Amino acid sequence: MMDQVMEALPFLVSGCVFGLAGGFSPGPTTTLVVSQTLRFGVLDGIKVAIAPALTDAPIIIVAVLLVGQLAKFEPVLGVITLLGAGFLIYLAVESLRVRELKIDEAKVEPRSISKGFLVNLFNPHPYLFWFVIGAPKLVEAADVGLSSAVLFIVGLYVCLIGAKILVASLVGRSCSFLKSRGYVYINRLLGLALGAFAFFFMRDGLRFVGVGV
How would residue 111 be classed by pLDDT, with cut points 50, 70 and 90? very low
pTM: 0.87
Query: Is 80 exceeded by the pLDDT of residue 115?
Result: no
Measured CA to CA, the distance from residue 40 to residue 202 in angstroms comes to 43
Q: Summarize pLDDT for 163-187 with one digit per residue, the tens.
A: 999 999 998 887 777 778 888 899 8
Domain boundaries of the chain, sorted by first residue: 2-208
Q: Summarize pLDDT for 131-167 with one digit per residue, the tens.
A: 999 999 999 999 999 999 999 999 999 999 999 999 9
Percent of the chain residues past pLDDT 70, beyond the cut: 92
Residues 21, 164 contacting (CB under 8 angstroms): no
Neighbours of 173 (CB within 10 A): 10
How would residue 104 be classed by pLDDT, with cut points 50, 70 and 90? low
Residues 35, 103 contacting (CB under 8 angstroms): yes
As a whole number, mean pLDDT of residues 39-52 equals: 89
